Amino acid sequence: MLSEAELEKELYNYAVSLLARREHAERELRQKLFRKQSNEKFDGCDSFEGAVSSVLERLKGLGFLSDARYAQMLLRSRYARGYGPERVRQELQQGGLDNELIALSFEEFEEDWFESALRAREKRFGLGILDQDIKLKAKQVRFLSSRGFSFDQVNYAIDAKEDDGW
């Protein structure tokens, strides 16, 4: 059985190794640390929950763990992959971030979601004019909506013409 100091050291090293690969939200990292509790090495450790909380506080104090930085990373990543703001907002909420932090992250994010919707449409379908093909237009609307773009963003992408600079 591990002492409390050894337990914290093990959890800290594991958490740092996870954070070295990518940013994590506090809730996500907490869940991953608690999964380690089922490891037989940690059987019988009474203070596991306290050790996890202590490790998380230490990581935040050192600046290794930041929900704000995680939110910005996720925003940039999902934007680059062609996802819309509603889908990203939902992922952030599922990651355990509060609505105030999410709103602040979106305010600080300087990219254009309308252009992102247009690029996602172009990447998937090309940029042909849709005046005659109602089924293709409906398919593109469904695709963009499922990616998390708003009604206005979808309309912007659908109504773009080839002579609009694309």
In tens, the pLDDT along 3-44 reads 778 888 989 999 999 999 999 999 999 999 988 877 666 665
Q: What is the pLDDT of residue 130?
A: 64
Model confidence band, residue 139 (pLDDT cutoffs 50, 70, 90): very high
140: tokens are 């593109």
Distance in angstroms (rounded) separating the CA atoms of residues 112 and 61? 34
* DSSP for residue 150: -
Share of the chain above pLDDT 70, in %: 87
Residue 58 predicted with pLDDT over 80: yes
Dist CA 141 CA 84 (whole Å): 13
134-142: average pLDDT: 90
Q: Whole-number mean pLDDT of the chain?
A: 88
Q: Worst-scoring range by mean pLDDT, 41-45, 76-80, 90-94?
A: 41-45
Per-residue model confidence (pLDDT) at position 163: 46
What pLDDT is stored for residue 19 in this prediction? 95
Region of residue 133 (left: phi > 0; alpha: psi -120 to 50; beta: else): beta
Residue 104 has pLDDT above 60, yes or no: yes
Long-range contact set of residues 57-62: C-beta below 8 Å, sequence gap at least 24: 58/12, 59/12, 59/15, 59/16, 59/19, 59/29, 60/26
Residue 151 has a pLDDT of 96
3-state secondary structure of 118: helix
pLDDT of 161: 59
The 8-class DSSP code of residue 29 comes to: H
| Residue 66 pLDDT exceeds 70 | yes
